[in-house]
Each structure stands twice: as C-alpha cells, then as structure tokens.
Structure 1
Amino acid sequence: MRVINGQVFDLEQGFVERDVCTDGTLLSAASGDGETLDAAGCYVIPGLVDVHFHGCVGEDFSDATPDGLQRMADFELSQGVTYICPAGMTLPEDQLTAICKNAAAHRAAASHGAELAGLHLEGPFLCMAKKGAQNGAFLHDPDGDMLHRLQEAANGLVKLVTLAPEQPGSLEFIRAARADGVNVSLGHTTADYETASAAYEAGARQATHLFNAMPPFTHREPGVVGAAFDHPEVRAELICDGIHIHPSVVRAVFRLFGPERVILISDSLRATGMPDGVYPFGGQEIEVHGNRATMLGHPETLAGSVTSLMGCLRQAVSFGIPLADAVRAASFNPAQSIGIDQRAGSLDTGKEASFVLLDKTDLSIRSIVFKGALVQD
C-alpha cells in the first residue's frame, strides 16, 4: 500500500509531505502491492497507544471475560487506538489473577481488534487517603512476590503498576517490579516531594494521571508533580477529557515537562460509548452524565473518563496543544512507557504499519490501517 497526498507525522519535524508505504504488515521504503490510498486533506498519524483505560462499550477489563475484552479491543481500534494496555482495579488477588489470565489468553489467541500490548495494574498498592474510585477494602501494601505471581499469570504482560510510594516496602517493591520488567508509576498517593523523589531514584519512571489522586503542586510543597518534573527520565500521564484537568493546566504541563514527557491517557470506563446512566465499577457504582463520571452518591469524586483517547487528543488540540505534540503524547510516548516503541508509536520504516488518517478540518477519522490492513475507510 502507498498512502499519498497526506501530511505525515514525523517525530522530529512535526508534519511533512511524503508518502507512507507498507510491505505486508510493516512500513517500508516502497509499496509491496500496488494499492494506493489517497490521503488528500488528511493528516497521517501513528495508531494511538492507550496505557491507562478500564473499559468501554459496557465492558470492563476487570470483569475478566473473554468476550468483553474482545469487544473492548474492537471498539478501541475503531477509535484509532491500535495498541492497548488496559488497567485493572484494586481487587482481591484471585480476581487480579483472573484478569491477568484472561489477558494472557486473549493475547495468545491472536485476537482481532487493537493489539493487547500489555496490562496496567492500577491497584492494589495504593493508599487509603487517595484511593479515589478504588475500593479501599482491597488495598494491599506493596508486595513484590504478589506482583511476580500476577506477572506469571499474565505470561509477562504486566507492563505498568501504580504505586503509592509512602506505603511500607515501596522501594523494595520498585526494584522487584523492575526485575519483572514492570514500569512503576506513582499515583493514588499522599507522598511528599522527598518520598516521591526517593521512589524515582529507586527506578519508578511515571506518574499516574498527574494532579489527580495526589497532593497539589504548590510553591512550598511540590509533591509528586515537582518530583516528577525534577527527574527528566520520568513521564507524566494526563487525562485530557476536559473534566479532570483545566485547559490552562494542560498547556502548562506540556510547557513544563515538554511534549516528549507527557503521556495522554483516556482512563475511560465501561460507560464510554454508552448512554448516560449508572454503571458498575470495581465492586462499586458510578453515575454518568454527559462527559462526567462520578461515584454514585459522591458527585465530588471523579471515577474516570468517558472519552476515548482519540477524543482526548482532539480535546488537547482544542486547548491549544500543537497537533504534533498531542500525537506524540498519544502514540510514541506511551509506546515507550510499555516498551513497544521499537515497533509502534511512529511512522518510521521497519515499524508496524498501524496508522490513522485524520480529516484536517475536524480531526475526524477518515481511514484506519492496522498492521498493513485497511480496517476502516
């Protein structure tokens, strides 16, 4: 396939005029089949990578059902998200094990839809005071042996784990996680600057949904946000749904951290792609009105988003983030965070041919190509 007449995303130059060619499932210097896709009036961007979402279309990753996970993968691909790393909740170990095994079975079956590139354990190693929508009954102190058991159940698919670093045993947990090939992200935490810095120096490399479920960033107590900024190897997740973070703060984060360190996430719930109403969530219930999801009976507690990652990318652009920066934050940066950047996240020759054509006028999806195959046109 040869994609012609489009403005093509480039990591170094932003958008450039060039052809994109595929030879089977990979990007190549020349087309291998003579097929042509006209991208006139479009941007050509890498398929997006969501490393933190819980569900969509009525399904939740934590339900650990094969059909539900398949429906999620199909929906995500339809939204231009070609690689997914769904997140589990704070639950008992037996249910977390079921989630991990379900993910491993889905991966082994070479299922259709977006590729399951990993999974994110957002719980249970969090703190009670900042648990947010997580179920406090199942919180657990950091436990490297437990993480290893879950990694074995997932057949190595655990790529991210969220940790409250003030909990006992956190530094040892970070070292154990790294030995298991797991990236540690700080979140759902009351940690001060010094505690968070110690965790980053021990090997944590991410911040989970920056500003949400952590102490505020103030001039005398910079907390996790300041610690993340001071460690240039650390990336920060950002929920850009127009609800969780004010547009001014979104702009400030991109300026403060730079576009190479921001990871756009959706943190989407099973209500994404569904009508308003009440939905189960991690053994609790949430209430959805429009673009806002809160804990049932606690309208002040946000539960996650009901916006896809592509929707968050469009929202970021509407807030004044340059399109190239938003694309990088939703593709290459998250690919790096789960270790798939050598084959995904940009449009370099030799990488997998997964990309999306966006209409220049409104950033709506015109076409989706996944691993060389046109799946939506």
Structure 2
Amino acid sequence: MKNRHLTRIVGANVILENEVVENGIVVLADDHIVYAGHAESAPPPAYEAAIGSHHYEGDPEHKDQAVVIDAEGGWVLPGFIDMHVHGGGGADFMDATSEAYETITRFHGRNGTTTMLATTMTAPREAIDRAIAAVAAFRTGDMPGADLLGVHVEGPFVNTDWRGAQNPAYIVPPQPEWAEAWERDYPGLVRQITLAPEIDGALPFIQWLNERGIVASSGHTAGTYEQLVAAADHGLRQATHTYNAMTGLHHRKPGTLGAVMTDERVYAEIIADGHHVHPAAIQVLAKMKLPNRLIMITDAIAAAGLPDGDYELGGLPVVVKEGVCKLRDGDSLAGSTLTSINAFRYLVREVGLTMAEASRCASGNPARQLGIADRTGTLAAGKAADLLLLSPDLELQQVWVKGRALL
C-alpha cells in the first residue's frame, strides 16, 4: 500500500473565500485540500484526521509523518487563474507544439499561475485550429506546470479600427461555423472568445456562445454604451483588458467602458502592470466591480521572462523596452511581460487592494466565471490543492498545482 503524501502548512495568514485567518493551518493530502482554517478548529492533529476520513491504507506506523512547513507569518492563498495569456519564456501558444506549451506552463506556473487559458491571436483559421488541437493534445499528458484548462480565442472577430496588436490581415466577422466545429471536435475546450459586439453577426453569435457556457467577451471594440448593453442582453459576460482597445467614458457618451463599469452582468479583466492602466483608473474600476466582477490577467506574450529586444506577436514585429511591449510599427501596446505574482503585488502595493480583494481578482472571480469554482479558486476541504505560499513581504515561496510543488 502506498502512503498518502501529506503537507501541513502552519503559522500562516490563510486567505479563505470570506475570511482571512491569522496563524492558520492548511493541510494537503495528495492532490486535494483536506483542511484550511483556524488552528484551534483543526481536527487534532489535522492531518491524522484527514487521513482517516479519506480511508488511509498505508503503513499505520507512518501515517503521522507529514511534511510540516512553517509559513512564519506569510500568506497562503489560492493559486492564480489567468484567463488571458499568450505565452512566456520565449514560447507562444500559437506555436502549437507540446514543447512550447511545456515552456509556457512551467514559466507561469513558477510565477504563481496554477490554471490558465491558452490565448490565441487574430490569425488564419488554420493557425487557430492548430493551436486548439495542440491544447487538446497537451491536456492528455502530464502537464508539468500550470493546468492548461482550455482556450481563449482572442479575435479574429474584432473591429479593425480598434485592433491594437491584432493582425488586420486576418480580421473577419464572426464565423459561427468555426465555433461549431471547435465545439464539435473538442467539446468544452474553448472557454472564452473575445469579439467586438458591434460588428455584423455578433449578437446571435454571442447568444450561441452563452448557451454553450463559453464566455463571450467584448474586446478590440468601437462599441457604444448601448451596443454593449445590447450584447449583455444576448449573453456577453466579460470585457477583455478593460480600458484598452475599447471606447472610453465620456459624460454624454459612456462608451464601452461606461457599460462595463455599470452593468453588473459583465466581468472586467484588468492588466495590472502600471503601463496599460494607471493605478487610479484601476481603483475606479475596482470600486465598480469588486467584490465579484474584477479579474486579474497578464496578457503576457512570449517575451515574458526574457530580456528587452525584438519579438513577434501574431505575425507582427514587437519591440520590448524596459519591459514594455509595443508594435514596432506604431505605438500600440502589444501584450505584456507581466507575471501573475507581479500583477498581484501591483494590485496590493500600488492600487491599494487588500490581500483578500486581490485574491478574489486573481483566483475566486475567474474560477466562478469559468464554472470551476467547485474545484479550485478558493481554499476549502475537497478542492484541488492549487495554492501559493508567500512570505510576509509577498515573495513567492512555493506553488502547488494539484498538490505538486513547482519550486
């Protein structure tokens, strides 16, 4: 019989869904959480009781030998869920190879992301098809880093005038037959599609996506306030990298941004890197969308984790200078070099969110939006052991993905 692998984290500030527990305990058994909360409320001893409740069949003489980690006043919180990430460590999801995906998931896993969506770019259908097929194949193996949950298709159904770093050569109106084929061939794999809701054919397409549980997100859009609300009426439920590549707020023309801020049906992504959005603007958005509708993303590209220099995104040349990504031709931002842990720290240190609020943005809210909150996104008994250990000054000490330590 094989002993269960047990880990007991003590002396931690534990971020639960509705409470921050000082001097708390978290107990892991194999790939799941068996206890998270107050030390005085833990079954004595917590890990022994946990083993018993899960029908321990190992050697009774060694059942109490758990790995004990003293957090020394640090933080234990749910692993980060990144719904919008293109690449990292020199690889891009559009590369459509297992080697690239291993590089990306390892890199972001070691920076706090435990679950992610492979995000595509505006490209020919064949290239998008290859990426989706590659994600499906990658998921059949033992993923070495973050869990690659599915795909976020960003474009090509966007507005040319607000394309940002999306390649204009491949922008097309919504193509329902593409999505039907993806859903037929890889059921449930495509989790999110970013599109401009004002373009022809968008509203029935949004309704089709919503009926199948695919997150329809507004992005790269010239939409008005009224068009965004109409899209929400049809099932639009998210805004892609809020503030960026959308019509802004004006007191007589509230624009896409005004609708995103005020429509409670719509979640708002935010890139918290200090380049895409001013911290004061993030504060405004947080006041409108917290506690349950703000989602932290990275929008990271292949250059994340690499030095400044020349790169490519969606077939377009990109220059990275002082960590900021811009198209070589023009002044448009082109993704980021952000990691989830750095985005989280920015929300706390520069924007002023509490640890619990930032954790909701980084974990709980995307889990609810993706329909996986029953198994991850918060720390609770029975959920996957997807969690992080941070030092008191928010340095990343350890990452667990389904109980597997990455650092």
TM bucket (normalised to shorter chain) is: over 0.9
Q: Which amino acid aligns with 2:177?
A: D
- 2:286 aligned with 1:280, yes or no? no
Contact 1:3 1:21 in 2 (8 A): yes
Summarize the alignment of residues 1-377 of structure 1 with structure 2, pairs less than 5 Å apart.
1-29=7-35, 30-31=46-47, 32=51, 34-298=66-330, 300-319=331-350, 320-361=352-393, 363-376=394-407
Q: Distance in 1 between matches of 2:236 and 2:332?
A: 27
Bigger radius of gyration: 2
> Would you say how many aligned residue pairs link Structure 1 and Structure 2?
374
* Cα deviation 1:297-322 (Å, max 9, x = unaligned): 32x21001111111111111121122
Deviates more, 1:124-133 or 1:25-34: 25-34
Normalised by the length of structure 1, the TM-score is: 0.96
The residue identity in structure 2 corresponding to 1:367 is: Q
Distance 1:151 1:289 in 2: 39
SS in 1 for 2:173: coil
24-33 or 268-277, which deviates more: 24-33
Mean Cα deviation higher: 334-343 or 280-289: 334-343
Cα distance in 2, alignment partners of residues 105 and 192 from structure 1: 40
| Alpha-carbon contact 1:287-1:293 (below 8 Å) kept | yes
- The percentage of aligned residue pairs carrying the same residue is 35
- Looking at structure 1, the residues matched to 309 and 296 of structure 2 have their Cα atoms a distance apart, in angstroms, of 26
Q: C-alpha deviations, 1:260-308, integer Å up to 9, x for none?
A: 211010000100000110001101110001121100132x210011111
Query: What letter is aligned with 2:261?
Result: F
Question: How many angstroms apart in 2 are the aligned matches of 1:118 and 1:141?
Answer: 23
82-91 vs 222-231, which moves further: 222-231
* Per-residue deviation, 1:222: 1.2
CA shift for structure 1 position 259: 3.0
Offset at residue 156 of structure 1 (A): 2.4
Q: Spell out structure 1 runs of 4+ moving beyond 6 A.
A: none
Structure 1: tracts of 5 or more residues without a match: none
Q: State the 1:155 CA deviation.
A: 4.2
Cα drift, residue 153 of structure 1? 4.2
Structure 1: distance between partners of 2:236 and 2:316: 30
Counterpart residue identity of residue 12, structure 2: G
CA positional deviation for 1:143: 1.9
- Measure how far apart 1:220 and its partner are: 1.3
- Does the CA-based 8 Å contact 1:144-1:177 persist in structure 2? no
- Is 2:152–2:191's contact at 8 Å kept on the other side of the alignment? yes
Computed over aligned residues only, the root mean square deviation of the Cα atoms, in angstroms, reads 1.3
CA distance in 1, matches of 2:112, 2:80: 6
| Distance across 1 between alignment mates of 2:253 and 2:118 | 32
2-structure distance, mates of 1:333, 1:106: 26
